[in-house]
A and B are shown apart, each in its own frame.
Chain A
Amino acid sequence: MKRSHLIAIAIIAVAIAALIGSLSDSSTYADLDEALANPGREYHVVGVLDRSQDIVYEPSVNASLTEFTMQDLQGRRCRVKLAKAKPQDFERSERLVLIGEATEGGEFHATDMLMKCPSKYNEQNQVGV
Chain B
Amino acid sequence: MTYSGEHTWAGQLGHLLTVLSFTGALLAAAGFGLATGRHDERWRGVGRTGFLLHAASVLGIVTVLFTMLFNHWFEYDYVWKHSNLQMPLRYILSCFWEGQEGSFLLWTFWHVCIGLVLIRRAGTWEAPVMTVVSLVQLFLASMLLGVHVGDVRIGSSPFLLVRELPENIGLPWTRLEDYLSRIPQFADGRGLNPLLQNYWMVLHPPTLFLGFAATLVPFAYAVAGLWRREPQAWIAPALPWTFFGVMVLGTGILMGGAWAYEALSFGGFWAWDPVENASLVPWLTLVAAGHLMLVNRNRPTSLFTTLLLTLVTFHLVLYSTFLTRSGVLGDTSVHSFTGDGMMPGLTLFMLFFVWLAVVMLHKDRGQRRFYTLIAVALLTIGVALGQPVPAILLFLAVSAVWTYTAQRLAFPQPEKEEAVWSREFWIFIGALVLLLSAAQITFSTSVPVLNLLLEPFQAPLSSLADTLDSDLLRRAARARMAPPTEAIAHFNKWQLPFAFIVSLLSAFAQYLRYRSTDMRRFRRAIALSFVVSLVLTAVGTVLLKYRAAELNLILVLFATTFSAAANLDLIRTAFKGRLTNAGPSVAHVGFALVLLGALVSTSRQHEVSRNTQGMDLRFLNQEFSNSTDILLYRGDTVRMGEFYVHYAAKRPEGVNLRYVTEYFRPVPATYAVGDTVKVGDMLFRCRAPHEASTAFLEDQPARWTPIEEFPRRALWRAKPWSAARPGEHLFTLEPFVQLNPRFGNVAEPSTKHWPHRDLYTHVRYADLAADEAEDSAGVHYMPPRLYEKEIGDTIVTPTCLILIDSLRTVRDSVTLRMLGPEFLVYALRMRVRDLYDQERWFEASPVIIYRDGAPVAGKGFEVDPLRVKFELATVNGERVGLNVFEREFVVMQAIVFPGINILWTGCILMVVGTFMAVRRRLRNRTGTS
Contacts and interface: CB of A to CB of B under 8 A. Distances in A.
A46 interface: yes
Contact of A129 (B81, B173, B799): B173
A107 B737 CA distance: 32
Contacts of A9: none
Contacts of A52: none
Contacts of B629: 63-64, 85
Interface in B169-225: 171-173, 176, 179, 182-183, 185-186, 190
A21 B439 CA distance: 12
A89 B768 CA distance: 11
Contact of B171 (A27, A28, A44, A128): A128
Interface stretch (B391-399, B483-491, B843-851): B483-491
B747 A60 contact: no
Contacts of B172: 128-129
Contacts of B613: 60, 63
Interface string A28-71: 11100000000000111010000000000111111111000000
A36 B764 CA distance: 29
Given A22-B440, A22-B447, A63-B629, A4 B886 contact: no
Interface string B727-757: 0000000000100001111110000000000
Given A62-B614, A109-B620, A30 B472 contact: no
Interface size class of B (residues with CB under 8 A): 35 or more
B306 to A, nearest CB: 15
Contact of B186 (A20, A43, A116, A127): A127
Contacts of B334: 114
Contacts of A83: 617, 620-621, 623-625
B611 interface: yes
B614 A60 contact: yes
Interface stretch (B363-371, B474-482, B870-878): B474-482
Given A23-B472, A29-B481, A100 B623 contact: yes
Contacts of A18: 436, 439-440, 443, 494
B519 to A, nearest CB: 18
Given A14-B436, A44-B482, A4 B891 contact: no
A92 B481 contact: no
Contacts of B475: 23, 26, 28
Contacts of A25: 444, 484, 486, 490
Contact of B737 (A86, A88, A128): A88
Contacts of B443: 18-19, 22
Contacts of B737: 88
A85 B798 CA distance: 16
B179 A64 contact: no
Contacts of A114: 331-332, 334
Contact of A88 (B447, B481, B744): B744
A26 B614 contact: no
A88 B745 contact: yes
Interface string A79-117: 001011110110010010101110100000101101011
A60 B81 CA distance: 39
A65 B765 CA distance: 12
Contact of A101 (B432, B623, B630, B743): B623
Contacts of A24: 472
B491 to A, nearest CB: 9
Contacts, number: 186
A62 to B, nearest CB: 5
A111 B490 contact: no
A63 B630 contact: yes
B642 interface: no
Nearest to B621: A109
Contact of A46 (B331, B485, B490): B331
A127 B183 contact: yes
Nearest to A114: B331
Nearest to A57: B765
A17 B320 CA distance: 23
A125 B620 contact: no
Contacts of A88: 737, 744-747, 765
B798 A60 contact: yes
Contacts of B186: 127
A129 B617 contact: no
B167 interface: yes
Interface size class of A (residues with CB under 8 A): 35 or more
A28 B747 contact: no
A49 B144 CA distance: 36
Nearest to B475: A28
Contacts of A97: 331
A109 B183 contact: no
A21 B436 CA distance: 13
Contacts of B645: none
A85 to B, nearest CB: 4
Nearest to A81: B620
A93 B747 CA distance: 16
Contacts of A120: 81, 190, 742
Contact of B889 (A7, A60, A81): A60
Contacts of B476: 23
A79 B444 CA distance: 31
A114 B399 CA distance: 37
A25 B443 CA distance: 11
Contact of B611 (A62, A103, A109, A121): A62
A43 B629 CA distance: 25
A85 B891 contact: yes
A74 interface: no
Nearest to A125: B167
Contact of A116 (B331, B483, B886): B331
A116 B334 CA distance: 8
A88 B886 CA distance: 20
B318 interface: no
B631 interface: yes
B338 interface: yes
Contacts of B552: none
A109 B624 contact: yes
A129 B623 CA distance: 48
A59 B435 CA distance: 47
Interface string B365-398: 0000000000000000000000000000000000
A92 B742 CA distance: 10
B543 interface: no
B185 A27 contact: no
B628 interface: yes
Interface in B577-633: 611, 613-615, 617, 620-621, 623-626, 628-631
Contact of B481 (A27, A64, A123): A27
B782 to A, nearest CB: 9
Contacts of B764: 63, 85
Contact of B439 (A15, A44, A62, A101): A15
A127 B747 contact: no
B413 interface: yes
13 contacts: A22-B444, A26-B447, A44-B331, A64-B628, A83-B617, A88-B745, A88-B765, A92-B744, A114-B334, A124-B167, A127-B168, A128-B171, A128-B179
Given A85-B764, A85-B765, A111-B624, 18 more contacts: A2-B417, A4-B413, A18-B439, A19-B443, A23-B472, A26-B447, A26-B475, A30-B480, A59-B889, A60-B799, A60-B889, A62-B626, A64-B611, A86-B765, A114-B334, A116-B331, A117-B744, A124-B185
Interface of A: 2-4, 7, 11, 14-15, 18-30, 42-44, 46, 57-65, 81, 83-86, 88-89, 92, 95, 97, 99-101, 103, 109, 111-112, 114, 116-117, 119-121, 123-125, 127-129
The 4 closest A-B pairs by CB, nearest first: A128-B173, A85-B764, A44-B482, A89-B744
Interface of B: 80-81, 162, 165, 167-168, 171-173, 176, 179, 182-183, 185-186, 190, 331-332, 334, 338, 413, 417, 420, 429, 432, 435-436, 439-440, 443-444, 447, 472, 475-476, 478, 480-486, 490, 494, 611, 613-615, 617, 620-621, 623-626, 628-631, 737, 742-747, 764-765, 798-799, 886, 889, 891
